[in-house]
Structure 1
């Protein structure tokens, strides 16, 4: 009888055991076929036999020997799975809800550069990420945290989503975009059996009204999760769902507004259903207002968060009264984005007593014009001083999907910034149909005219070399005027804009035929490719009498980079300077867009600093290259009436000719400077990762000082000879600008200089060089020098070094107190009658226009004193 009962019990509980097996989490270590134990859990390789998943494409298994960071998941971040084409991870799961976490740690592998990796991610039919770049996202997060005053610098990234699954499987799809590749380091799929969210949520500013969010049909992304008033909570301390809880102090608008309190005894949940909402550790600490006797009712605790515009958000606040054991002793208001979410909020009453864990959700829509979410807790105005306290234990912010999309894509909004409604869309379709119908009436009548116009155009236009067709990008900008022919029969365009914006006869370039381009590049031989960008490829070619050229060909099947391509044509058509790369000509046949530039035999400055087998540059060479680049940028900023802002200054855009003369290149992102009555140009943030001006990034206000900041990064790159971003280094060294700046402020830049320079530079010149770079990287543009001032000081640094070289060579000191001293490509004159109290000026005569320009020399901290100025022409000067 006992055996029979035992058999019945086994049969009864067998199905339950199978259900538990199906609800086990998937912990996937991508890029390996082995298993590892991390945070007390077993992580299985994505190609391991027991992974219980299907991978549609093996992709590429990538690995690195080290992880430099303090993440719990460091072991997982040493491997990754790379995909050059779309690939799916398919997980068999029960219908219900789950957490999906994607882990990213960017490291370069073989010929895959993570800095250019870009991809989309889908989960079933929900778009999670669009044109996603992990390094850019990490940089944005670090920049944002630093703008809040935090010193943290993350090297890895985790994205968390809460999804509903009703098909029995979860398909996570990675899709490379822009000819790049996708990658992922680890994936978590955590089934959730408890109810973490409810559809009916209080609406911010709704005076108690609620909204039905229909969460079962929407995806949710975790934007922020904070343990307020307490320390960081690791996933191992939240073992139900393995969530990470950050500290809140970095997000506070004024940390002095709140103090931490804690009570680690007798905290329980106010409802049994809340046990999975947050671990009790969250409720055992809190932040309360510091001065609860204040009578100023506008005083409050505030937290500020960056969010994606035009999405719905759930703000979840966690409360637990740890001090008061009676009602009406702590009553306050809750504000979200400056609107009242709740008033007369008494935690003791809401939770049902002291030490009771309780949470409250609020729903709010962030408009297309806003990218910030404020959470504020302040006094209830109807109470006296005794009731002006406020308290918060934890905070979470969740973004809700719209139309199957969680990825922020600004292009989906109209010019007014609002999303196009279905009715508006139908109305537009209707009017388009009507307009098309009316237009069709005239088509037949116009065909006859068009026929004869085309015949006339073919006769007079393109069949011969004497009548080349108009090239759309050039004609769009009006940079091509008349044509003329030189003595050798080459076609040139004239009539472009001069530096002051007026019409002048300036050579724009030869109109090459496609046959000439094919001959120059050996029919676009891949072995001649010297560069690749979003627009297409750059080839080394040989034109005319053996002249070498760089030939940039836009990809015929892609419009990526078309705007930048046209901008570069416009800029190069009106800019001529020894330190700017020149355009030789262009080709327009067969719908091709091809530009021909002068060939720079020594490639990019970056290639000579690191990452190649080229011999290292001397300190003098580096200074001369920086000076040349500074001259080119100074010309951009001052040559035209409104100036030109390059917007993408970096070592790969500083090219070197056969004599190592530096020339600034790539004007695809350039912008005309602000008008006289404006201080900046308002524009979308564009630039290169690691060189981007943080003030421009925060405010979207572009000035010439943004180029100065980028050039400051170039200066540090030149002296340290390392990448501006290197995720493989310890986290305090990942960002070159931050790392070098810390050493420079300690006046110890020599400790991190390129070892190839050791013993071969003047310490005084390095000291001055570091001071210039430091000033360029000032947080606010107004505190940075102009490019002209940077140029003057770099010239002085070069003189110091050359005097040191002559001294070491045993040269006799010779007096150079002469009227004129030749400095590089400029002629400097000193007026010996200038007194010490007068302004010290020099006369600059450029080689380009021959016109004198008198400038006051400004020091890094103000006007240069007479003693320092005299060093420009001292007996040991250049």
Structure 2
């Protein structure tokens, strides 16, 4: 039985943020019921390079522990989880394997910590007046936590629209996702600690990410130089981020028209919200600096003139959000690279230069609300990993926003999930290649027509004298009204209880997968129309074998 451990609410300690709760394992309040171990570092451990005393203690649990945080006002909140497997416990925390979830999102799945301090930071849009944070140990293992911090964030931290990079265009619906903060980079400037950020964030330097360092020149101005126009938020990034930048260096090259590039490592199976910060602290006059912005090799902004977008001001803050899906990422061998480039416009538009002040990269939750792996809170799969057996082409009317589950974009998978696909998921499918999966060759979204283009058939070797059997694709239909959800499937794959009750479950998904595996193993079709005695391959597999007459 899960136990609920309430964390005491503390008063605000920052002018623009309310700390809903800060908990660390050595706290004597609140009183924690149930079974747990309280651990503290030994003198020998004190020699370890630990950046904060928050890592000096830990609470260890052998069963699920639930921390409940009450909110006065729902909305965006930072969740910061501090983890360090200290050695002063009976349990070897370096081998602990556990998951951390909320009611809606998976934050960590089957996580085993490294032997070093780590802080995992998330941004969650809470729709209720409380948040439950659940630590779930793997069976036979343990879970632990050193400290938890929950801080409410301003509404403008993440707005509902962003610019998609591929295909290029404005999208909406990003407020419905959960996020993990991967990188906060103060380009051209020093590290910014939590004490100098109104929301307690940490910004690192760009030294580890900038490419061709000799092409970059760091510049800075006093923070008093930065001018915030009316309506510009001071909370999205602290002023020091805008007061430093990287610009083109006076490199010894024949033409100064080269790129300034930064690269970070990312998981290629997720999409990302990339926020770029700008402030023209190098120009002497307005309308004299124009440059292009590329993300993962794709042009995202052409001819950016900061003095125009900031209302004719120099040294004024400006930022722009971009959504980068997995199909746009660089890299090979399953390793993703996300790059940001600023490039002089290359036309007679003023000085040849480009600059960048800051970068934020946030991982976006996938279709099942996970930020770590393909399992959702209810252990459902992310459907883009499943075999897709739609028709050779499929059309649907209507166009929903990014990630919308309330549109006409209603495509279904063989697994009988009966769910909706976002355009980001479609782009993920276009990258997925496996000999047992139907490849999504492409899609079209023009003139209110949406079409899937897929491989015409799926071929695999069978036991029947080395011949090959071909799975012909069938069209799947789904009602465009989510309130009238009706999944149509192929006979032979539908679980008996689903055909009667029309209710999908984990068990019905397993049945479909088993029927598919039977086809692969036996080389026979799931529906054997010519066999009146046993038309369904699944029924034959479940029936007891008949004894041979002697």
TM-score bucket of the superposed structures, by smaller chain: 0.5 to 0.7
1:229–1:260 Cα contact (<8 Å) kept: yes
Q: Point out the structure with the larger helix share.
A: 1
Question: Counterpart in 2 of 1:130?
Answer: 109
Larger radius of gyration: 1
Between the aligned partners of 2:151 and 2:526, the Cα distance in structure 1 is 53
Q: Which sections of structure 2, spanning at least 5 residues, go unmatched?
A: 1-10, 376-380, 391-409, 417-475, 477-487, 495-524
Aligned twin of 2:505: none
Alpha-carbon distance, 1:176 to partner: 1.0
Say whether residues 1:374 and 2:339 are aligned partners: yes
- Would you say 1:243 and 2:201 are equivalent positions? yes
Residue 431 to residue 58, structure 1, CA distance change in 2 (3 Å): same
- Give a deviation string over 1:403-452, Cα, whole Å, max 9, x none: 22111349857679999994223449525437656484478999999242
1: CA distance between counterparts of 2:269 and 2:83?
26
Aligned pairs for 1:278-293 within 5 A: 278-291=237-250
1:262 aligns with 2:217: no
* Post-superposition offset of 1:33: 3.1
CA contact (8 A) 1:314 1:397 kept: yes
Residue 357 in 1 paired to residue 317 in 2?
Answer: yes
Matching residue within 154, 157, 160 for 1:193: 154
Q: Is 2:401 the partner of 1:401?
A: no
Mean CA deviation greater in 216-225 or 443-452: 443-452
- Partner in structure 1 of residue 70 of structure 2: 92
8 Å contact kept, 1:225–1:246: yes
Aligned 8 A contact 1:29 1:76 in 2: no
CA spacing shift, 1:77–1:447, aligned 2, 3 Å: closer
C-alpha distance 314-125 of structure 1, shift in aligned 2 (>3 A): same
The Cα shift of 1:116 comes to 1.3
Question: SS of the counterpart of 2:175?
Answer: helix
Sort the Cα spacing of 1:345 and 1:445 in 2 relative to 1 into closer, same or farther, 3 A: closer
Q: 2:271 aligned to 309, 312, 317, which one?
A: 312
In the alignment, what sits opposite 1:710? none
Deviation sequence 1:617-650 (CA, Å, 0-9, x none): xxxxxxxxxxxxxxxxxxxxxxxxxxxxxxxxxx
Q: For 1:449 and 1:121, how far apart are their aligned partners in 2?
A: 44
| TM-score (normalised: structure 1) | 0.42
Whether 2:26 is the aligned partner of 1:26: answer no
Q: Deviations over 1:188-237 (max 9, x none)?
A: 11012342111111221555x2011x233221111110111111000011
Distance in 1 between residues matched to 2:542 and 2:189, nearest whole Å = 76
Distance apart, 1:243 and its partner CA: 0.3
Label 1:70 to 1:243 Cα distance change in 2 as closer, same or farther (>3 A). farther
Displacement of 1:387 in angstroms is 3.1
The alignment's C-alpha RMSD in Å is: 3.4
Distance 1:160 1:446 in 2: 49
Contact persistence 1:292–1:388 (CA under 8 A):
no
| Aligned counterpart, 1:48 | 30
1:322, 1:354 within 8 Å by CA — same for their partners in 2? yes
TM-score, normalising length: structure 2: 0.65
* C-alpha spacing 1:125/1:194, structure 2 compared with 1 (3 Å): closer
Please tell me whether residue 347 in structure 1 is matched to residue 306 in structure 2: yes
Give 1:275's match in structure 2, choosing from 196, 219, 234: 234
Given candidates 376, 388, 402, the residue that maps to 2:352 is 388
Give how far 1:394 is off. Answer: 0.8
Conservation of the 8 A alpha-carbon contact between 1:90 and 1:169: yes
Pick aligned residue for 1:165 from 123, 126, 135? 126
Cα pair 2:158 2:175 within 8 Å, conserved: no
Work out the CA distance in 2 between the residues paired with 1:249 and 1:322: 20
* Aligned-partner SS, 2:90: coil
Aligned-residue offset at 1:28: 3.0
Q: Quick check: 1:283–1:393 contact (8 Å CA) kept in 2?
A: yes
Distance, in Å, in 1 between the alignment partners of 2:347 and 2:386 is 40
3-state SS, counterpart of residue 311 of structure 1:
coil
**Structure with higher strand content:** 2
CA distance in 2 between counterparts of 1:335 and 1:82 reads 46
Equivalent positions of 1:590-605 (< 5 A) are: none
Residue aligning to 2:174: 215
For the 8 Å contact 1:380–1:387, the answer to whether it is kept is no
- CA contact under 8 A between 1:288 and 1:389: conserved in structure 2? yes
Q: How does 1:850-865 map to 2 (within 5 A)?
A: none
Structure 2 counterpart of 1:182: 143
- Counterpart secondary structure, 1:452: coil
Aligned partner of residue 122 in structure 2, secondary structure: strand
CA 1:123–1:296: 2 relative to 1, 3 Å? farther
Deviation at 1:57, TM superposition (A): 4.2
Give the 3 Å change call, closer, same or farther, for CA 231–381 of structure 1 in structure 2.
same
Q: Report SS of the residue matched to 2:413.
A: helix
Which residue does the alignment assign to 2:165?
204
Note closer, same or farther for the CA distance 1:162–1:446 as it changes in structure 2 (3 Å cut): closer
Match of 1:250, SS state, is coil
Retained in 2: the 8 A contact 1:268–1:280? no
